[in-house]
Amino acid sequence: MLSNTTALLGKELRTEFRSRELLTTTVVFILVIVVLFSFTFDPTSAESRRFAGSLLWLAFLFAASLMLQPCFLREQNNDTLSALRLSVADPFAIFVAKLAANTLFLLLTEVLMLPVFSILFNVPVFPVFGQLVVVLFLGSLGVSIAGTALSAISAQARMRELLLPLLLLPLLTPVLVASTYVTIGLLDRAPYMEWKGIGFLATFDVVFLTALWLFGEYLLEE
Amino acid sequence: MTPVDSPAGIRFENIEKRYGGLYALRRVSLEIAAGECVVLAGRNGSGKTTLLRIAAGLVRPSSGSVTFLDSGKGPMQGAPKVGFVGHATMVYDELTAEENLVLFARLLGIAEPADRAGILLAEVGLDDRRSSLVRTFSRGMRQRMAIARALLNQPEVLLLDEPATGLDPQGVSWLAETLRRMRDAGHTIVMSLHGKSEISSLATRAVRLEAGSVMADTRTGGSLSSILTFVGA
């Protein structure tokens, strides 16, 4: 399975870095959201510290729902999903490659957005950059696992463009709450790591990954 | 072409496929012996594509079963290597011809993916375009890519859904010659076609589907010509 996953991850990265469609769109979209938030909400420094975590994760979540949409839709253009299903020994490899690529793209977008966010909301992120990346990784992984699975489901449905955000946003509420909780702690005047939130995120990731491993094959069927 | 190591046949038993209340296939029972070259004929919507996709394992039947058979017509140990050409090209537009074939060769576990990709690109006449993105290809060139992808693992069973789509006359001749060699080497070929052609002349058997049911079969009395002529009508 490892060699299949590596080959498919290579394909995902190559096609994206060749077209840059997803990354460009998502970066622009998230930038617009963050700037709009800063226009409509003019916080004091204390308020920023209190609300920045929520705003940041809301922006990331909206961006993720945009980024994850084409994940399986793109495989339908030339029915390449059928070719993949006929070629891989374990269909879980298809999911692992896609969610790894999605996590990487999301993380990249988030890391690019942090300095902009820091400036617009006057919240110093660099002293806690390392810890923030841990939260971003666990949160983005959760978003990608659930989003990749739902993308596979919604790609075969009618109203597919509308279905993913409708399914994804409610399902990711626990990730949003836990990630926000941990991020607010890190952006505090005296930063601290909220380990309970980290534990919750790690558990969410493991549970959803296991469910995907067990039931993923059925999501790919016509 | 070297003879097939483990020839494989296919047995469809009482296959039904329903999409909601619509029947795509109704109690289809069909046995295709190892090494046969079968043409599935029938009008649009008669169930040919669904039957081929069920045989490939891409669609699960609502009821009934598909069994691969060895040359003694007993159930095969393990699954045979299957090649499938569908309506869509099943290759990535954003990858080059070579990248596509190497990717699928790697996924199939082929030992020297680049070498195998090179051989097939030469065979389908796309060697000089190996580094071009597939999105720059014409429909016929994409169809050649689709066929090359299906042949990567030297399949014992080849399932082709209207394989000549988009091919020019030279392409059709090339495909007919390739399939003739594969048939003679013992590969089992099942293909859906519209009308008589150079490719249909390779058939050792023809089956006509109508509204999801088998209506005629050369094995049970229909003539190859009448079945194929009907399709062309």
User: What pLDDT shows up at residue A136?
Assistant: 93
Portion of chain B with pLDDT greater than 90, in percent: 50
- Residue B33 CA to residue B207 CA, distance in Å, equals 13
pLDDT, tens digit (0-9, with 9 covering 90-100), for B27-85 = 999 999 888 899 998 888 889 999 999 999 999 999 999 998 887 777 777 788 899 99
User: What pLDDT shows up at residue A206?
Assistant: 95
B9-19 and B63-69 beta bridge pairing: antiparallel
Instruction: Give the closest-approach CA distance of B81 to chain A in angstroms.
Output: 10
Q: Would the CB atoms of A87 and B93 count as touching at under 8 Å?
A: no
Kindly provide the ipTM of the predicted complex, given to two decimals: 0.88
Would you list the domain boundaries of chain A? 2-221
Greater confidence (B226 vs B86) lies with B86
User: What pLDDT shows up at residue A157?
Assistant: 77
User: What pLDDT shows up at residue A156?
Assistant: 78
Residue of A nearest to B82 (CA): A86
- Residue B103 CA to residue B84 CA, distance in Å, equals 16
pTM listed for this prediction: 0.87
Whether the per-residue pLDDT at B231 is higher than 60: the answer is no
Angle at the Cα of B199 from the Cα atoms of B194 and B202, rounded to 5 degrees: 120
**A196 SS3 class:** helix
A188 near A49, Cβ under 8 Å? yes
pLDDT, tens digit (0-9, with 9 covering 90-100), for B128-140 = 999 999 999 999 9
Q: Would the CB atoms of B91 and A83 count as touching at under 8 Å?
A: yes
Chain A interface test: which of B53, B82, B89, B103 (most A C-beta within 10 Å):
B103
Q: Would the CB atoms of B91 and A79 count as touching at under 8 Å?
A: no
User: What pLDDT shows up at residue A94?
Assistant: 94
Across the interface, of A4, A15, A222, the residue whose CB is closest to B107 is A4
Mean pLDDT, chain B, as a whole number? 87
Tokens in use for A191?
Answer: 């930063």
Spell out which residues of chain A touch residue B149, defining contact as CB-CB under 8 Å: 83
- Average pLDDT of A6-27? 90
In terms of C-beta distances under 8 Å and separation of at least 24 residues, what long-range contacts does A136-140 make, across chains too? Answer: A136/A107, A136/A110, A136/A111, A137/A103, A137/A107, A138/A179, A138/A198, A138/A201, A138/A202, A138/A205, A139/A57, A139/A60, A139/A175, A139/A178, A139/A179, A139/A201, A140/A60, A140/A64, A140/A103, A140/A106, A140/A107, A140/A110
Instruction: Give the closest-approach CA distance of B13 to chain A in angstroms.
Output: 20
B167 near B143, Cβ under 8 Å? yes
pLDDT, tens digit (0-9, with 9 covering 90-100), for A104-114 = 999 999 988 88
Spell out which residues of chain B touch residue A15, defining contact as CB-CB under 8 Å: 92, 94-95
Whether the per-residue pLDDT at A220 is higher than 90: the answer is no
